[in-house]
Structures are given as structure tokens and as C-alpha cells.
Amino acid sequence: MAPVCIAIIGLGGVGKAFLNQLATLKLQTTSRPVVIFASRSSKQIYTKNYDSVDATTVDSSSSPLLSLSDLTTYLGGAPGKVILVDNTSNQDVANAYPSFLRKGISVVTPNKKAFSSNMQLWDDIFNSTSPSALVYHESSVGAGLPVISTLKDLVATGDQITKVQGVFSGTMSFLFNTFAPVDGSGKGKWSEIVSQAKDAGYTEPDPRDDLNGMDVARKCTILARLAGLKVAGPDSFPVQSLIPKQLESASSAAEFMDKLPQFDGDMESYKDNAAKAGKVVRFVASVDVAANEVKVGLEMVEKDSPIAALKGSDNIFVFHTKRYSSSPLVVQGSGAGGEVTAMGVSADLIKAIERLS
Amino acid sequence: MAPVCIAIIGLGGVGKAFLNQLATLKLQTTSRPVVIFASRSSKQIYTKNYDSVDATTVDSSSSPLLSLSDLTTYLGGAPGKVILVDNTSNQDVANAYPSFLRKGISVVTPNKKAFSSNMQLWDDIFNSTSPSALVYHESSVGAGLPVISTLKDLVATGDQITKVQGVFSGTMSFLFNTFAPVDGSGKGKWSEIVSQAKDAGYTEPDPRDDLNGMDVARKCTILARLAGLKVAGPDSFPVQSLIPKQLESASSAAEFMDKLPQFDGDMESYKDNAAKAGKVVRFVASVDVAANEVKVGLEMVEKDSPIAALKGSDNIFVFHTKRYSSSPLVVQGSGAGGEVTAMGVSADLIKAIERLS
């Protein structure tokens, strides 16, 4: 049987870590996959005859650029089964998944946008799937943590998901674990902690991209849909933005950071109110399947709850189900970063290769 | 393509829950599997022509009994690919896995004994594996919790496991969470708590089968081997038994329970020593891959550690790896019971069917 062919889009932080893992992947099958296409920004490497290419040399490649549509045609003509590994967070690439899948090309990706945009794209992706065109996206939520696979296993074996709750953002986790730790010590004003996190690289270059809650809302959308809720998109349910209304018009990240200290009192009062109730404030995502309610925002949580006990920038996913009713199934750990995101992609790739070989 | 055939051994608590889940399994493939053999104690149901049988009617079946060797031959002649689902904890059945696998029959099972006995059986099982004879055993450790799959994914994608640690027994978890809770409240003497747990069905009928630590040692053996250590068996490393030496010769569970109160002082002093160090005592399993050291026994753990914070009868698995070095990957929840054990089996069955279809 011809070896499985791999096409890689995106060779940034995740993509580079993925390439390293691919080189040493422990596969049960005898046939190692062959990389026939790789792209990075405006460079691509491939050959007309689907030869094996060295993705690390993409920058010096002179292959003519293929559009996404050209790429679909190109990969559709490959001599073996093809897996597209999309390591970007690009909406255009995500929108092209149904075209790839209809050509029998499988998709393995951490790209959240494919699964958290409109329902039409979701349906097109999962209705295009045939036994020869698989879709795996473990790293779209919680990076390498077993979140998507666990939720899918619960649903597929007939468990009833009651609620999925947790802290789905490493940035939010770090900010609140530092701002309002369980022992009440608190390590500074809100704006100072945001500033420290930004300097340490724990936030996006523009911290507003974390503070608006949309990254968490996208993850919620994916989990809600897998649990069976028809969620129209990440802006179709309540998401509390931590960008003060008066700063929504700030023209730059710098202006935002300059003015943020004026609003420290707001966050301080959230913290104080929680403390008065014997609780701590956290940025919690909640998919309540029983009540058909999805929401993201500040909540006061019990000090002895697993969510409150979180440390550093860990994510936590708490699955309440019929089978796990007396105590929930919990998955916890680092939910961001090139290595662990690539790990989810690589593990998915192994599963896809095992099914296609 | 002929549908996948399923042979089920064991229709007790796990087996019955599995049958219920099998009836409503959500499969991506179009072909539903067909049950061609089922057995329970000394009853078996099957037909010469590999027809579909109703496993729930096994008790009224008059099919002549097949030995394990006969069964291997019978299943080897089936018209389609066969998956053996072993829901027992039987050593003889486990010993027959290599024979089944060599005939191209896949195995899905929660049976710990297959993977925690001597290395020869382990090697025979995994060296017999071919692309058409798969082995899945998620529920052999932590029931339906994603423990085996997570560890395998970490290893297969090239992460380096440093240490796997935790509380791997629901019974031990309950006993110590009740005896020595973090808040110091303690709910009675050790022997009283063992007695309560026995009455509530949280222990084996003979509590010594939990207290000897061998169940945890078997799980440790499996995880250690998956992490790359050559562990000869569950009696090849230090396992602390909580059966007092003087009671090892007790002739019955009743005699053991009668005399256990005489040794409450021993457990009380473990608890007090931990309290003096600002810690709590827990029954901890530890696979230290870096140091090539496996052990099971009482440990003093920090009060703010995830192991100390465990509640009820939850299991916890803490994976320290190179990628998850700043904070470990943690999986937590109920690790025993028919429904959640069957869930791990069913989820494995889906994966096997997807690969064989």
C-alpha cells in the first residue's frame, strides 16, 4: 500500500514543534508517512510528482504558489491517502476544510476557527466526512490535554453530559491565580498583574485579545457543539469582556495599558465581594447542557473547588456527566504552548494514519 | 465488507453495563458489529455458522462449552474480523491473548492481569500484534478515565515521562480522604473507617484484597511498562501492605476485621507524624521513570497538592513529563464501577472497529 501523504500548512511555533515530533513519531504501522507539501507565510515547497520534500527548507523553495483551491486539486491527485495538517489559526484555511474533505483528504489541526465559526461550516466539515476523510482536532481546545477525545468518548459510549466547566485560558488562569489566590495573599493590583503577564509573554502581544474573552468563547463553542448543543457561534451567548467599556475605543495596546490602572477598583471589588462570601473570583467557562446555557465570565467559586485550586497558567476541564455524577471527571494542565499543542496534533496524526493504513 | 464480529467473555457487572452501551454505541462507520459469541461463568452462546446471538439469553443457552483453545479455533474461522471483549479479571483468559492475537483476533479488555503479570506475557501480547490484531486496554487502569491513552500519546509523540504519581485505588482514596482529610477533621479510627467502607461496598468483600496494595501494584506495573520501564511484575518492587504483620495469618475476613482495632495506633501515628510536618498521609503510587524506581505505600503529601485535595473515592493520575515540566498533566475522577469501566471498554471498541472497518 502507498504510504500516507502529509501536507503541512503553517510552520510557526506549533508547526516547527510538530516537524520535530513527526521525525521521531512512534508508529505501530510499518509505513512512515511522506511529507509532500509544506507552506509557511508566502513560501511553499512541493513537486509535481508528489515527491517527499524537506519542510525545513521551505524558505529557500522556488515552487510556484498554489492557492487553497489549487492545493485541493493538487492533493486530490496524490497517489496515496492524504492528511492535511493545518497548524495555523487561519479562517480561510478553515473555510476550505469541506473542499479538502470532499476530495477524501483528512484534516488534523489545532485551528479553533474551523470548529467555532458558524454552524454551516461545522456541518459542512462533519457531513463531508467519510471513512477515508477523517477529522481530528484535539489541540483546538486545551492543546495536548485529552479534552476533545474524552468528551467524544463520553458522548459516543452513551453518557449524558450535564455540564462542562472550567478555566479554558492559560492567560486568564495566570491572571486570576495571581490576583486572587485561595490563601488571600494577592500579588498586586489588577493592572500591574496584566502588565507583568504581558511582559512575561503570558498574554497575546495585545492583551485585549485575551481579556475580551473570545478565545475562551471559541473553546466553549466547540465543547458545547460536541456535547450536542446547537451553538450558533462564539458571539451567540453571554461572554463577559474584561476590557472596561470606556477603554473599548483605545487606539492601541499601549494606550489601553496606560489607562487600565484607572479601572483597578472594579476588579478589586469583584475580588472583595468574593472574599466576603468566603470565595475567590475566577474567569469561568460553563457549558450547561442540561439547561442549554453557555456562558463565559467572572464567577465566585468555592475555595476548595478544583477551579480555585488551579496554579500557574494551568487549564482545567471539569466534566459533569450521568456516569460521573458523584464526582466529575477532571483534566488539568498546561493548555497552551508550541510543544504541547504540537503533541495533540501529532497524537491525532498517529490515530489518522492508523485508520488510513 | 463483512461486519466486525464481537466475542464477549464475562457478563457480570462490567459485562452487563458494556452490553447496554453496545446497543446504543455511536459509530462513525456504517457497519454495526455483530455479537457471535458470549459467555458467562459456565454458560456460552454461539452458533456453528457465526450467526448473531443475543448475549442477554446466555443463561438459557444449550451451546456446548468451548475451551479457550476451542474458542481460539472457532473465532479464527469467523467470516469477518473479530474483536474479543474480555470483561473478566481472569488470568487464564489473559494468558490466552497471544493465541487469539496470533489468529488475527483483536482484544479489548479491562483485565489488569494480562498486562501486569510476567514480562513474557506482556511481550507475547504486544509482539503478536499486527495491523489486523489490535490491543486496547484503557480500563485496565482508572476505568474510563483517559489514563492509558494519555500515557501512550505522550510516549508515542516523543515526550519524556519523568514520573507518574497518584492515588490509583478508589478504596484507598476513600479510606484516607475520610481518615485524614486536609482540614484535619478526621472522621474516626482507622478500623472504624475500614468497617464503614466495607459495609458500604467500597471495598472488596474481603477488605484485605484492597489493603494488601496489590491492586495498586498491578496498575503501577502497567503504567511503568508503558512508560518504558522493564518491570518484572507487581511483586518486583516495594509495595507497603496495610495488613498488620500480626494479622497476616487471620483465617477469615471476619477475624481480620475483629482484630484490626488493635492496630489503630499504628495508623494514628502515621497520621500524627504527617500532621506534625504540616502534611497529610495518603496511599501513593509512584512510577519514577527517571530514577527507575516504582513503589506503592504510605506517604506524607503537601496539603495543597492535588493528591491531598482528592475527595470521595476519586482516583488521580499526575503525569510529570518533559513537556509538562512546569506543571503536570492531571487526570482525576471515579476509577472504578461497572458503568465507567464499561465506558472505557466501549470507547476502545469504537477505536478498534474504526481501524478494522
pLDDT digits (tens, 9 = 90+) for B270-309: 999 999 999 999 999 999 999 999 999 999 999 988 999 8
Residue-level pLDDT at B184:
83
Query: Is residue A265's pLDDT more than 90?
Result: yes
Average pLDDT on A105-124 reads 97
Contacts of A24 in chain B (CB under 8 A): 158
ipTM for the complex?
Answer: 0.96
Residue B120 φ/ψ, nearest 5 degrees:
-60, -45
Structural domains present in chain A: 5-144+339-356 (3.40.50.720), 150-334 (3.30.360.10)
**Nearest residue of A to residue B313, measured between CA atoms:** A327
**Least CB-CB distance to B329: which of A145, A158, A329?**
A145
Residue-level pLDDT at B112:
96
pLDDT tens digits along A117-133: 999 999 999 986 566 89
Residue-level pLDDT at A319:
98
d(Cα A119, Cα A354) in Å, to the nearest integer? Answer: 29
**A312:B333 CB<8 A:** no
Taking CA B164 as the corner, what is the angle to CA A336 and CA B347, rounded to the nearest 5 degrees? Answer: 75
| Average pLDDT, rounded, for chain A | 94
**A131:B29 CB<8 A:** yes
d(Cα B18, Cα B86) in Å, to the nearest integer? Answer: 11
**pLDDT level of residue A29 (50, 70, 90 thresholds):** low
**pLDDT level of residue B1 (50, 70, 90 thresholds):** low
- Give the three-class secondary structure for B39: strand
How many beta-carbon contacts under 8 Å exist across A and B?
Answer: 141
| Average pLDDT, rounded, for chain B | 94
Share of chain B above pLDDT 90, in %: 89
Average pLDDT on A100-112 reads 96
**A153:B333 CB<8 A:** no
Query: Is residue B19's pLDDT more than 80?
Result: yes
Residue-level pLDDT at B97:
97
C-beta separation of B339 from B15 below 8 A: no
Query: Across-strand partners of B39?
Result: B9, B44
**Known catalytic membership, residue B219:** yes
**B158:A21 CB<8 A:** yes
Query: Is residue A50's pLDDT more than 70?
Result: yes
pLDDT tens digits along B163-214: 999 999 999 999 999 999 998 887 799 999 999 999 988 888 899 999 999 9
Query: Is residue B114's pLDDT more than 70?
Result: yes
B20, B25, B10, B13: which is closest to B348 by C-alpha? B25
Q: Of residues A16, A112, A198, A219, which has the active-site annotation? A: A219
Share of chain A above pLDDT 70, in %: 97
Q: Tell me the shortest Cα–Cα distance from A57 to chain B, in angstroms.
A: 23
Residue-level pLDDT at A1:
65
**Least CB-CB distance to B331: which of A25, A29, A331?**
A331
Long-range contacts of range A20-25, CB-CB < 8 Å, 24 or more positions apart? A20/A342, A20/B158, A21/A342, A21/A343, A21/A346, A21/B157, A21/B158, A22/A346, A22/A349, A24/B158, A25/A346, A25/A349, A25/A350, A25/B156, A25/B157, A25/B158
C-beta separation of B317 from B301 below 8 A: no
